[in-house]
Structure 1
Amino acid sequence: MITLDEFDRRLLALVRQDNLLPARVLAERVGLSLSAVLRRLRRLREEKIIVADIAIVDPALTGSALTMHVLVQMQQAGPQTMDAFARQIARHAEITGVWEVTGDDDFLLKVQVGSMEEYDAFTRRALGEDKGVHSFTTMITIRNIIENDIARRPLRD
């Protein structure tokens, strides 16, 4: 297991909120030299603690304003069935997240679409035609509290 010190944790907290902060700003905020921050960031990426540098896109501005969370229960929960479903479902453009979960259901999907008609077409194509799917339950997101607001939250030092 990788050991993170307090500087690493503070650095990670800052880049989680804005990974475009210049290294000199990060250095000032965590109390390290510029070269120390650059070394730590390189190590955190090499050790896969920082897995990816991504952008959070506002779905309302890209035509995918509706977010659904879908719980999927499979007919059988064997490793081959689960892996095949995970590979197949991830190919759909509407899918923005897939998690294998515990409990009565087997998967949690995050689906983003522009309308209920698009969602209906997606479920028919992706879930209704899959013989391995026993059932699914849809939860429509009313308001996204953290993900959309992350860029507006003040940084915590």
Structure 2
Amino acid sequence: MTKTAALDRFDHALLALVQQDNQTPARLLAEQVGLSESAVLRRLRRLRAEGVIIADKAVVRPAALGLPLTLHVLVSLERESAAELDAFIRKTRSRPEVRQAWYVTGETDFVLLLQLPDMEAYDRFAREVFHDDPNVKAFRTIVAMREIVGPADARPLAAMA
């Protein structure tokens, strides 16, 4: 089970701000949360060291990179032994088309989020990853027509805690 970090109101305020823009200078963060710049920097270092902040990344619009097609694929496996799960996870992680993936409960075993240039690329992906794998029992594809809430405009997690 994942350990929950002990966060105070300043930590929550900082997290909400850096989730909106992690390039905000420490002095501006300090003004907004009511701490000194050095206190903000110490807290951010601690939040990174404790694994609360796990990455600082830019959010890129996939269509700008020639990947306008977003697909969610629900995958069911025939067998779920540890070795077979690990093999499917390794294969999934090795594919650049897979932007996110979850091992889930219920009728489906995995949910994959794919970014691709077109349906032809998805056909190749499906043949290589699903059709050629004897342990893939079934997969169902959901085509995203339009993004409603994406990474760039999602509410900060700190605001939900």
TM-score by length of 1: 0.92
Distance 1:108 1:44, change over 3 A: same
- The percentage of aligned residue pairs carrying the same residue is 49
Q: Partner residue of 1:89?
A: 92
Structure 1 stretches of at least 4 aligned residues deviating more than 3 Å after TM superposition = none
CA distance in 2, matches of 1:148, 1:46: 23
CA shift at 1:103, angstroms?
0.5
Query: Would you say the 8 A contact 1:94–1:113 is kept in 2?
Result: yes
Q: Partner residue of 1:69?
A: 72
Query: Would you say the 8 A contact 2:59–2:152 is kept in 1?
Result: no
Distance 1:36 1:148, change over 3 A: closer
Q: Partner residue of 2:104?
A: 101
TM-score by length of 2: 0.90
CA shift at 1:15, angstroms?
0.9
Number of paired residues?
152
CA distance in 2, matches of 1:17, 1:131: 43
Describe the SS at the equivalent of 1:48.
coil
CA distance in 2, matches of 1:63, 1:106: 29
Alignment of 1:19-98 (within 5 A): 19-98=22-101
Distance 1:65 1:148, change over 3 A: farther
CA shift at 1:2, angstroms?
2.0
In structure 2, runs of 5+ residues without a counterpart are: none
Listed one character per residue, the Cα deviations across residues 31-65 of structure 1 (whole Å, up to 9, x for unaligned) are 11100100000000000000111111100100100
